[in-house]
Structure 1
């Protein structure tokens, strides 16, 4: 059985899709199956390092990227299918070619945000991208998604024409050595800061977290800090970084809220290792990779009551009401006062995180590859 894995999008991916693609590619090599031959469209390391289209600074650069992406999906990728004659094509970035193909397709739709949250995307771009997605959902296509929550959301918007399978992914393999320099540069004390990692997309609810942290400080009077690591939102409409930055100043938290921007893997490891707790107040997630990452590091997690996060944490996280500043602050206070609760969450988190491994990730794909859905 030959499987062609499309890795072209790695040249611009910076968020959870990048982690998904990189970990899937690694898992195919680390956990091979005797009946499956994997073919990569690109070398994952080289493609991830390609900076040709990263951080475009002009409309022309963005247009050139979209033209390059369209050319790849609609012409070059179908040519590779003709060349290698795979039994299965996997596209892990929402879009499969519109052209007819002589093989099964597995298209990964990580979430239903494009349908659920139209206000967060430029209208023309959303219409264009949804058109690409729908044109690629044809023939022998199976949809792969990340949680039962995402599956239900996709079925609501796409119907049940194509089978939808849930495959729990593996979080990022953070095997780098720990760089504690980031703690020293930002005057962070061990177990004296709350941590959040990710882009400043509006759906992450980071202004809510900043307000909750302010309330925490006022009630507890402890010398804690809040670290919000990561880059700006993916578009002007989605980007909450300017709002968070302004809010931090307005609340007088410049010395308490740390905004280090993008951080290297070595710094991520250090930040996880020494955090008091990880806080994830997001209003909508398809999966929630950092929740599992934090649990693997033995860090207790506070997360919103969003359905996907409840699904993957399975009681191993402390749940706060989505968008409720007061409730989130209360959960942060509770965790700081109750050491027994903190230890219980750590142990539950370590156990729950074992359900999300590279081996289980690739085994789920192997099962689907070798066992076609009925009617395909």
Structure 2
């Protein structure tokens, strides 16, 4: 409760007073919440997704109360609302009664990862020469069971030289966490030696995992942006994504999509890429080209245009 109170005091009392005293024209917040009371300034919040509405059971009742009362209320009064994708915009519009013109899509961008030549944690115990990669928390919506099932099907068809590395942590919230089902599926198919889970990975090691992977796999059934798609492009890694939410929008023609509810479809797409070097090279080249649409400079310039529009 103390954390919620501190957050509320900062956002709804301290921040607007500081903005007023410093003569701010615009208060721009990247975490959903802007001041409800506008003291001679305009506000712009960033709504990264619609998860507060879509998964209310995943949030503390105090956070929900603050969001529905002050987050939503302040967003309605704001000059504009920013979302990272058109998909996120559509979802926010579904729940928030504002005009489409009020919500502006501004793409995010990947950070530059340090490129370590070797892992700081030492060598990984990989039982195959190649591996597929996924990076992210083990939440249910990440749909990681699909990857394990697809790996099992791939091995049944004779493609036994591939492992799966899942970098990330167990979700701290039990109702969001999908690790139990994930571990059960790994045991079911006796894949303990072929599915590695190194846990949280520091930025210095992250690039190593990308650079040495065969493919990046993104089976999530709900994302607001999907930053690993761009991080994979940065490291010349071909990407396969679920054919839903924002992932095709971010990946464009540089990704191969699959039905995340059908592991057989993913297995088919995996075979297409690993059996055809031309497809793999085409995805790498298109990934490099697609990445040109995303940079923090472009993002900053887009926000500057919005700020100027608000100012005038």
Within-5 A mapping of 1:19-30: none
**Aligned residue for 2:46?**
108
Shift in CA distance, 163/178, structure 1 to aligned 2, threshold 3 Å: farther
1:65 aligns with 2:65: no
1:163 aligns with 2:102: yes
1:209 aligns with 2:147: yes
1:236 pairs, out of 170, 174, 198, with 174
1:86 aligns with 2:9: no
Q: Note the residue ranges of structure 1 that are not aligned, 5 or more in a row.
A: 1-62
Tell me the SS of whatever aligns to 1:79: helix
Cα deviation for residue 125 of structure 1 reads: 4.4
1:326 pairs, out of 257, 264, 281, with 264
| Residues 93 and 107, structure 1, Cα contact 8 Å, conserved in 2 | yes
Alpha-carbon distance in structure 2 between the residues aligned to 1:100 and 1:118 = 28
Tell me the SS of whatever aligns to 1:194: strand
Cα deviation for residue 208 of structure 1 reads: 1.4
| Residues 20 and 41, structure 2, Cα contact 8 Å, conserved in 1 | no
Shift in CA distance, 181/333, structure 1 to aligned 2, threshold 3 Å: farther
**Aligned residue for 2:164?**
226
Cα deviation for residue 126 of structure 1 reads: 3.4
Cα deviation for residue 234 of structure 1 reads: 4.9
| Residues 255 and 283, structure 2, Cα contact 8 Å, conserved in 1 | yes
1:365 pairs, out of 294, 303, 310, with 303
Cα deviation for residue 300 of structure 1 reads: 0.2
Q: How many residue pairs align between the two structures?
A: 311
* TM-score of the superposed pair, with normalisation by structure 1: 0.77
Shift in CA distance, 206/157, structure 1 to aligned 2, threshold 3 Å: same
Shift in CA distance, 358/125, structure 1 to aligned 2, threshold 3 Å: closer
Deviation string 1:188-207 (CA, Å, 9 cap, x unpaired) is: 766x1000001111111111
Shift in CA distance, 255/335, structure 1 to aligned 2, threshold 3 Å: same
* TM-score of the superposed pair, with normalisation by structure 2: 0.92
Tell me the SS of whatever aligns to 2:80: strand
**Aligned residue for 2:91?**
153
1:256 aligns with 2:194: yes
1:200 pairs, out of 130, 138, 141, with 138
| Residues 178 and 269, structure 1, Cα contact 8 Å, conserved in 2 | no
Q: Note the residue ranges of structure 2 that are not aligned, 5 or more in a row.
A: none
**Aligned residue for 1:292?**
230
Shift in CA distance, 220/126, structure 1 to aligned 2, threshold 3 Å: farther
**Aligned residue for 1:274?**
212
* CA RMSD, Structure 1 to Structure 2 (Å): 2.1
Shift in CA distance, 120/325, structure 1 to aligned 2, threshold 3 Å: farther
